[in-house]
Chain A
Amino acid sequence: MDDPLIVVALVLVAVSATAAVAVRDPARQALVLAVLGTVLAVLFTVLQAPDVALSQLAVGSALTPLLIMLSVRKVRRPQRKKEADR
């Protein structure tokens, strides 16, 4: 009965997941991943699984981007230090 809603949510997930793979820079990938987490939570809600959507929101919209951005920062810092030493 809610077919258009499910189709819209599925298309959004497919588009943002494809974009997350296609984008190359890790910092920008983290931005797309944050959007993908939010859209996935909406899809779970539409499919009547609010408990899954709650955990997906907690993990996908804040924790995953934080972990990725912290690792990117950690990897980039030694490179900048080396460039400064030269």
Chain B
Amino acid sequence: MNGWTVAATATLAAGVGAAAWGVATGPLRRRVVAQNLSTSLACPALLLLSEGYDRPSYVDLALLLALLGPVGTLVFARLLAEDLAADPPRAWGLTYAVAGFGGVVVIAVCVAAGPGRALVKLLVVGALLIGGNLTASRALSGGFAGSRRG
């Protein structure tokens, strides 16, 4: 094990573990937030793993998760909109903390990768991760209420 895999283990145990506990218990508004945060915590963990195993192709996994995680959350935001409208989730502090953690991990992996095509890919992953996370959180808390119909 090296420093990267230790960091990935800590992220998985503390972050994703807490998200799994949050999604299994409590009111619906906490569960949707925990589901959103589980994808945005697993994505930095996958980045750390790809760096730890020294396999740049594993970054594809993080790219796919950064792309599909917010899509999954938007599915819940759209189809649970009626249930969430009465009791909208508000966890902006936690959301920004997780987004900041993702940014820190992306910057650390970028510094380790050095300039080149890999750096561009990592920056795309980081932009998708943070942008998708914030967009999905806003959709969950009813930020796009005008677009809800049917």
Cβ–Cβ contact A45 & B1, under 8 A: no
Taking CB atoms, residues of chain A closer than 8 Å to B24 are 15-16, 19, 22-23, 32
Q: Which one of A23, A35, A54, A66 has the greatest number of beta carbons of chain B within 10 Å?
A: A35
Contact partners of A41 in chain B: CB under 8 A:
42, 61, 65
Would you call B57 an interface residue if the criterion is a C-beta within 8 Å of the partner chain's C-beta atoms?
Answer: yes
Check if A61 sits within 8 Å of B16, measured CB to CB: no
Chain B: residues with Cβ within 8 Å of the partner, total of: 41
What's the tally of chain A residues with a CB closer than 8 Å to chain B? 39
B12 vs chain A, min Cβ distance (A): 5
Contact of B76 with A65 in the complex, beta carbons under 8 Å? yes
Q: Are A35 and B65 in contact (CB under 8 A)?
A: no
Tell me whether chain A's interface is mostly helix, strand or loop, or mixed.
helix
Q: How far is the CB of B50 from chain A (nearest CB, A)?
A: 8
A-facing residues in B1-37 (Cβ within 8 Å): 1, 5, 8-9, 12-13, 16-17, 19-21, 23-24, 28, 31-32, 34-35
Instruction: Establish whether residues A58 and B64, one from each chain, have CB atoms under 8 Å apart when the complex forms.
Output: yes
Residues on B lying within 8 angstroms of A by beta carbon are 1, 5, 8-9, 12-13, 16-17, 19-21, 23-24, 28, 31-32, 34-35, 38-39, 42, 45-46, 49, 53, 55, 57-58, 60-61, 64-65, 68-69, 71-72, 75-76, 79-80, 83
A selection of 29 A-B contacts at a CB cut-off of 8 Å is A4-B9, A5-B9, A5-B12, A8-B9, A16-B23, A22-B24, A31-B32, A31-B34, A31-B35, A32-B23, A34-B38, A34-B39, A35-B23, A38-B39, A38-B65, A39-B38, A41-B65, A45-B49, A45-B61, A48-B53, A50-B55, A54-B60, A54-B61, A58-B64, A61-B68, A62-B68, A62-B71, A65-B72, A73-B79
